[in-house]
Chains A and B, each alone.
Chain A
């Protein structure tokens, strides 16, 4: 074995106790779906893991009905302290089953086990823990005394952080007193279904959490269901636009957490070793399947060559392969479809004149893989500088002055996150002021914490998840129309609509 070669160290899948088939989780139990069942596969070897159901419009209706009933009969009447206790239970159960959840996540998603084990799942527990404590403190959420829950939340989440995104959605919704119907992504339903088992273990009243699987049409039916009071979506900006249109005029409260094209700005006085690690973490964490990924590196011209050289040398040491191997840095691309998109955009990068460099690593023959790639000589008009690639691809641009860095960083319809690397605090704070992005990391990148609000400016969406702000997304001030009168009338009209649907 040579330097940096490791013996295989795969995490055992023996900890998993998966079923061959999973139903929809509606009203506290697993039930058959009415749509066509499909397999969820492991992107690392394309092998089927389990069969899951597709929820069609009638199933969505059933799930929303269960959530409505649970809201009106149980959850909205329960004390905040008791809601909190349920959430604490869930946090503890996630901690107890952490290893199992991490293995399932890596299997279904393709992300390295060290990320699912050390980032995703601990954050899931932290999210429930944090919002558990909020449930009986809503008077301090910033909406004035006695804020009101909204009702039934319809939540649609992406495949890049399946269980983590579930926790970002469900924890604040339940803490605030709402009930939920959540649809995980088509390619990563597994951990959401394991979470349904946790919900059962926690003894949560039936219908408070409902989980329905399926593809885009299931999500569309959920978002458009007339008896849903709140829509929360994390995913592509394209779908975000469509949801914002479909929700217009309905009175549904909406939060959107969409795409990004974050600038990671490196000044010439940056702590360079830390910056290199931060750049790598910024774009190659989770195979670059991160909405807030630092996909545009803006490096000050004077240190460009040095940074690129160091980056290439660092990327050459990244280990790509089996997501369940504890030494793996780069796992599998989540789906054939996503791999195709990454290929298309990188080909466009070459065609438009940027210079491509790909880390020398062997790709497994089965599954979906893409080696870490850097484009240099990228200009702001290139597609790889404008469009979200959502893969392990870094586009490098240069700048000379802080003003130029700011102009380039803001030259995008997105505004989710940004990074600044400099030893000078006063410069960091001044640049941060000028950046039109919802999260700014200085001399670090991709930090997440349940206490810290996360969300975008511009077409990266609106609303915040995390912190006190994240709670506000699921509450209305006492006496607000969204809290009382409107909801009642809406409920009345939707009930009729539901009956008609059943005819």
Chain B
């Protein structure tokens, strides 16, 4: 007789913990063949606000870590992702109804993309910052710094790769993140959260919400303690309304981009440039 499996309860990931939605709501996740996979937590406005609070609390520690330290912590996540490769492949295969080869490619691309971004942690300042030859006896240096809390709608067409493609670049510089996972394929997002929870990433640096982006996104777009909004996966939402709403607090906004292709732009989009002037005395 075959062994009876022990299924996992998929919950949210907020402040380093795995709570159910405070609303008590779940939504049914079926495989493409129609089999029951799980009841995912359906995050509410309150969950989104809790996530923003957790993210805000984590900003100073994460952005205050040295770039080298952040780079190592992010690289460690890639190591752990590699260790869970099989689990992600199974999950994606069942959830997305794709061949094993396609699921493998998605997971491998996600890990490699994570490594690519991890390497930027102690380099992007050297590429995006510079000394400025001002006409006068001054030291003048421009350096990029993280903008703060970034809320994001993950690309909706993939379980893992899209999510990694928006989360990793924001983390590199020291931002913290509230991400709404793919509505159709939310399960791998919570498995990624398990990886984050057992890595050296401090609690609150990444917060993962599952549920309806259409329902949650407006609350995030209008939240005054959110500094930036990545609408990568929002093409099917009223994303212009979200952008207008974000303008109330002048959030930095990235428009919908389904594949969120890896680029330095995704890193610098959520940074502020700080220029320091200092006098040089006459000798």
Contacts and interface: CB of A to CB of B under 8 A. Distances in A.
Contacts of B116: 81, 136-137
A426 B115 contact: no
Interface string A440-484: 000000000111000000000000000110000000000000000
Interface stretch (B95-103, B203-211, B241-249, B273-281): B273-281
A130 B120 contact: no
Interface residues of A, number: 31
B112 interface: yes
Given A426-B280, A427-B281, A429-B278, A133 B127 contact: no
Q: Is the interface of B mostly helix, strand, loop or mixed?
A: helix
B78 to A, nearest CB: 9
A84 B119 contact: yes
B281 A133 contact: no
Interface in A69-102: 81, 84-85, 88
Interface of B: 67-68, 71-72, 75, 112, 115-116, 118-123, 126-127, 137, 139, 264, 278-283
Given A129-B71, A137-B116, A430-B280, 17 more contacts: A84-B119, A129-B72, A130-B122, A133-B122, A134-B119, A135-B119, A136-B116, A140-B123, A402-B283, A424-B281, A429-B278, A429-B279, A430-B137, A430-B281, A450-B122, A451-B126, A467-B126
Contact of A426 (B71, B72, B281): B281
Which among A134, A402, A406, A430 has the highest number of chain B CB atoms within 10 Å? A430
B283 A88 contact: no
Nearest to B116: A136
A430 B118 contact: no
Nearest to B137: A430
Contact of A81 (B115, B139, B281, B283): B115
A113 to B, nearest CB: 23
Interface of A: 81, 84-85, 88, 126, 129-130, 132-137, 140, 402-403, 406, 424-427, 429-431, 433-434, 449-451, 467-468
Nearest to B117: A133
A426 B115 CA distance: 41
B207 to A, nearest CB: 26
A225 B23 CA distance: 73
Contacts of B72: 129
B115 A85 contact: yes
Nearest to B75: A88
B160 to A, nearest CB: 18
Contacts of B282: 430
B283 A468 contact: no
B283 A434 contact: yes
B264 A140 contact: yes
A15 to B, nearest CB: 23
B280 A433 contact: yes
Contacts of A88: 75, 115
A266 B68 CA distance: 31
